[in-house]
Amino acid sequence: MSITVKFSKKENGFPRVKFVFKEDLKRGRINGFDTGKIFKGSEFKGDLFQFFPLRISEERTYFLLMGGGERAKFNGDSAFKAGSFLTIKLKELGFRNVELMVDFLERDEKLVLEFFSGIFYGDYENDFFKSQKKENNLTVYIASSSHDKVFRKLIDVSRKIGVNVNLCREFVDLPANHINPITFVDRVKKLLKGSDVKVDLLRLKEIEKYNLNLIKAVSGGSFVEPRLLILEYKNSKDRPIAFIGKGVTFDSGGLNLKPTAHIEDMKTDMAGGAVVFSLIKLLSELKVKANVIGIIPLVENLPGNHATKPGDVFISHSGKSVEILNTDAEGRLILADGIGFSKRFNPSMIVSIATLTGSAVVALGTLRCAIFSKDEDVIDIFKRVGDEIGEKLWPLPMDDEYGEELKSDIADIKNIGSSRFGGAILGAKFLENFSEDTPFVHLDIAGVSDLKSKKPYAPKGGTGFGVRLLYNFMREYK
């Protein structure tokens, strides 16, 4: 399946997709049709995710009416979801060509961008292992009067956003026997070939040389060596922002083995790393004026002869000693070394993004992602941007008193708290220790990185949450 957006010069006779808001229904007429007659006996009320094929003759379905909800509430979030829903619906119904009437976007650049990002987002299919793939291609024609230069440029940007978010989803969805630390790197290298992104890689020998001992400790039980992937994209003279993404390609829990239920979901535990990669690829394709470093520590967390044992102590890259009391709190360990390593680039801010804790999911469910920072202005930007585009956040506290629980009897810090309360906060406080005096932001995406069941605008599986959020954050943050 692949979707193409084209610009038509003249009437092409393809079915026309038209957005209908609740207000339009109240007005009683749509394109000369009497709404009372059209929707008589139907459930269609113009709500978001409602779809109504309007047959105007026996052989032709001429208008495809899409609900937009209340006009006043139609924002970037709903535009994105509507776009994705439209693609999914048109694919499902087997349409090959449609003409899209874009007047409902009112040439609002943000709405256009989000709507078309959604159109491309809807193109994703987790069918990598299906021998029968859906092959129907869909072409969306944009009606004449709309395709000026600005509009075309916006669609090009949207396509790049959609494609890169979908790449992130692919990483999240692929099983752990297809994405491990080695094959993650192979894919990234291939996908970044010829781009402006500099790729550096530390293998086991260098990981040992640089004392990235926490990364080595977590990967000890696995046959597959750890890696530290470093991506650099520099298109400004500012100090870099460092993005550290958790890259646990499978999290069994290690010797603190996870129970059977849902352990298979832990193939998604590299979502943070996938976000960092996709973000940097996107920033470079759009030539965004920014200086960013991506650090992705990659490991498999397995029990094994050489696995870390609960109670072991390791000296981190930064020199702080860490007592590992639970091998399932492994994300914070590899991120701690990633954060420590990022300091050599003299970043102005460190942002970690990770499927870090089940506790974040308990706190916020699967709608909003937890954000942690002591900088309220940064939180405000993230929150506003997240609400606008539909990757929503909610702040959790960072009081230093929380960190008291992480004091170890025998080392500088331990990797779990003394109680089972406030687990997401403790994870963030643990990481903050390694950022030291550099401004620090942490996103716990455990609840939002994949959907457990399908939505009208997305299938079950990887969501790519974080790519659009961080891209928009980078555009707003100066």
Binding site for ligand BES (CB under 6 A): 251, 269, 326, 328-331, 355, 357-359, 361, 416, 423, 446
DSSP conformational letter for 260: S
For residue 339, give the nearest of 408, 439, 268, 421 by alpha carbon: 439
The total number of residues written for the chain in this structure: 478
Size of the site for Zn ion (CB under 5 A): 6
Backbone angles phi, psi at 57, to 5 degrees: -150, 170
CB 342 within 8 A of CB 350: yes
Q: Which does 435 bind (CB under 5 to 8 A by kind): Zn ion, ligand BES, none?
A: none
For residue 246, give the nearest of 358, 370, 356, 344 by alpha carbon: 356
CB of 446 to Zn ion, least distance (A): 8
Cα dihedral sign, 75-78-81-87: negative
386 near Zn ion, rule: CB under 5 A: no
CB of 251 to Zn ion, least distance (A): 4
The residue (of 117 and 327) whose beta carbon lies closer to ligand BES is 327
The residue (of 330 and 444) whose beta carbon lies closer to Zn ion is 330
- Amino acid identity of 151? F
CB of 424 to Zn ion, least distance (A): 13
Burial of 451 (0-12, 13-18, 19+ CB in 10 A): middle
The residue (of 83 and 331) whose beta carbon lies closer to Zn ion is 331
E strands, 49-197, where?
Answer: 51-55, 61-67, 97-100, 138-142
Candidate ranges 54-62, 106-114, 325-333, 359-367; the one touching Zn ion (CB under 5 A): 325-333
The residue (of 256 and 472) whose beta carbon lies closer to Zn ion is 256
3-state secondary structure of 241: strand
Burial of 304 (0-12, 13-18, 19+ CB in 10 A): middle
Q: Which does 359 bind (CB under 5 to 8 A by kind): ligand BES, Zn ion, none?
A: ligand BES
The residue (of 252 and 291) whose beta carbon lies closer to ligand BES is 252
328 near Zn ion, rule: CB under 5 A: yes
CB of 172 to ligand BES, least distance (A): 11
251 near Zn ion, rule: CB under 5 A: yes
The terminus-to-terminus CA distance of the chain in angstroms comes to: 39
Beta bridge partners of 442: 352, 372
HSE (CB half, 13 Å, CA atoms) of 159? Answer: 12
CB 227 within 8 A of CB 181: yes
Q: Which does 416 bind (CB under 5 to 8 A by kind): ligand BES, Zn ion, none?
A: ligand BES
Q: Which does 432 bind (CB under 5 to 8 A by kind): Zn ion, ligand BES, none?
A: none
The Cα 120–Cα 163 span in angstroms is 7
Q: Which residues are catalytic?
A: 258, 332
CB of 331 to Zn ion, least distance (A): 4
The Cα 436–Cα 196 span in angstroms is 30
Q: Residue with the closest Cβ to ligand BES?
A: 358
Beta bridge partners of 393: 369
Q: Which of 245, 273, 331, 466 touches Zn ion by CB under 5 A?
A: 331
CB of 359 to ligand BES, least distance (A): 5
The residue (of 356 and 389) whose beta carbon lies closer to ligand BES is 356
Candidate ranges 112-120, 128-136, 175-183, 326-334; the one touching Zn ion (CB under 5 A): 326-334
Q: Which does 357 bind (CB under 5 to 8 A by kind): Zn ion, ligand BES, none?
A: ligand BES
CB of 229 to Zn ion, least distance (A): 17
E strands, 255-401, where?
Answer: 291-301, 312-315, 321-324, 349-354, 369-373, 393-395
What is the pattern of x (binds Zn ion, CB under 5 A) and - over residues 2-41? Answer: ----------------------------------------
The residue (of 241 and 361) whose beta carbon lies closer to ligand BES is 361
Q: Which of 24, 77, 173, 269 touches Zn ion by CB under 5 A?
A: 269
Q: Which residues bind Zn ion (CB under 5 A)?
A: 248, 251, 269, 328, 330-331
